Amino acid sequence: MAILGAISIAGSHPAVACDDLTGSVPSGTIEAVSHGFNLSGWLEGPGSAPPDPAVLRSLRKAGMTHIRLPVSAELLMKRFASDDEIKAKLRAIDQALTVLLSIGYRVSVDLHPGGRFSELHRNNPEASMRSLQEAWALLAPIIGKHSPELVFAELLNEPDIEPARWQIEAEQLAKFVRERLPRTTLIVGPTNWQRADSLSDFRPLGDSNVIYAIHFYDPMVFTHQGYWDPSDPLSDIRGLPFPVVADDPAVRNIRQELIAGGKLRALEMLDGATARAELGDIFSSQLEPAVVWQKRFSRPLIINEFGVLKGGAPEASRVGWLRSVVRFAEAHCWGWAHWEYGQGFGLLNQKTGEPDANVMRALLQRH
């Protein structure tokens, strides 16, 4: 942590001015979500463990102001969990908020489903909505114990249904949560993994105290190279630099290795990425739909997931990609939350358990 101390600052880093935004999201909330990370691996299932408070304090001192706290949706739903499991999860959430707020973070509680709820959501609209309302009826009293300036409510991570249906359900769910949390800022995003280009099918909700969330991992062949599942073609790619351009010697070598190994699915993904790179800057091209959406509706946005899997990507390219995402976000008055804390995409050095100084410099725009 001594290295991190060299780039630390007192208090929070000031956000870009957002004077042209409409709605009723407090300016302090917009500022708070401008520098954050996902604290995954704590409240998402069995075997999770709390993070080291000393590390959390050092990240706060460095300038991180916001934590997105993923919470397993299934463990708050009677269809998937016992009463004892639900009670235990609620106690854990309550304790986590107490710890994080005492350190000085603002926190967004992210209802983060797994495959079981997502399958129910796709196939049974009525039952899935009941389960969502059930979860939020339990979460609301815990969130409501705290100032609405400190804790926010993210309705559902990456809804896996048709856009038109989610538009209706998001309105219904927001109304349900708003009745229980009158002043809390809500967070919601579109379908299709919350990609920026999915915003074109998503209108702002009738509720004005809402931040809209997108996720960004393009190009996937770079951000997810070295993937842990050997059945995924991205597991066959390692050492791919960014930007992914066809005439880069490293890219040519990887391409030849894929051809020699008969890794045709991975080769197709690599060739797709190089073709897209020829069209121009990937940040501008892939995030432009969100820029257009914000210009049209003047609502606050956050990229509350973005990151690069550390196992396969060259460090310099990973750091450069992260820096570019943050620069784009801040240039457009968007908040951001890095994915994630201490796992495969994490902020931490997995050998030492301490914050990665190069990554922190990239995220907080230090030299």
Cis omega (within 30 of 0) for bond into 340 = yes
pLDDT at 41: 85
Nearest CA among 178, 165, 212 for reference residue 23:
212
Q: Which of 185, 223, 221, 219 is nearest to 205 (CA)?
A: 185
Report domain extents, the chain. 2-234+282-363
Question: Considering only CA atoms, which of 167, 147, 145, 255 is closest in space to residue 155?
Answer: 167
Place of tokens 């049209």: 296
Strand pairing partners for 70?
110
User: Would you identify the CATH topology of the domain 2-234+282-363?
Assistant: TIM Barrel (3.20.20)
Label each residue of the chain as H, E or C: CHHHHCCCCCCCCCCCCCCCCCCCCCHHHHHHCCCEEECCCCECCCCCCCCCHHHHHHHHHHCCCEEEEEEECHHHCCCCCCHHHHHHHHHHHHHHHHHHHHHCCEEEEEEECCHHHHHHHHHCHHHHHHHHHHHHHHHHHHHHCCCCCCEEEECCCCCCCCHHHHHHHHHHHHHHHHHHCCCCCEEECCCHHHCHHHHHHCCCCCCCCEEEEEEECCCHHHHCCCCCCCCCHHHHCCCCCCCCCCCCHHHHHHHHHHHHCCCHHHHHHHHHHHHHHCCCCHHHHHHHHHHHHHHHHCCCEEEEEECCCCCCCCHHHHHHHHHHHHHHHHHCCCEEEECCCCCCCCCECCCCCCECHHHHHHHCCCC
Give 10-residue mean pLDDT values along the chain (367 residues): 37 46 88 96 76 96 97 97 96 97 98 97 98 98 97 98 98 98 98 97 97 97 94 95 95 96 96 92 94 96 97 95 97 96 91 92 83
* Nearest CA among 187, 170, 92, 171 for reference residue 138: 92
Instruction: Report whether the peptide linkage leading into residue 219 is cis, meaning its omega lies within 30 degrees of zero.
Output: yes
Cα separation, 71 vs 145, whole angstroms: 18
Q: Are 99 and 70 in contact (CB under 8 A)?
A: no
What are the structure tokens assigned to 94, written together?
């309550």
Q: What is the pLDDT of residue 86?
A: 97
- Residue 64's nearest CA partner among 348, 299, 328 is 348
The CA angle 314-62-30, to the nearest 5 degrees, is 100
Q: Which tokens belong to 29?
A: 């909330």
Q: Are 180 and 144 a contacting pair, CB within 8 Å?
A: yes
* CA angle in degrees (0–180, nearest 5) for 245-249-250: 80
The Cα–Cα gap between 304 and 262 comes to: 36
Q: What is the spatial distance between Cα 87 and Cα 81, in angstroms, rounded to a whole number? A: 10
User: What's the distance, Cα to Cα, between the start and end of the chain in Å?
Assistant: 17
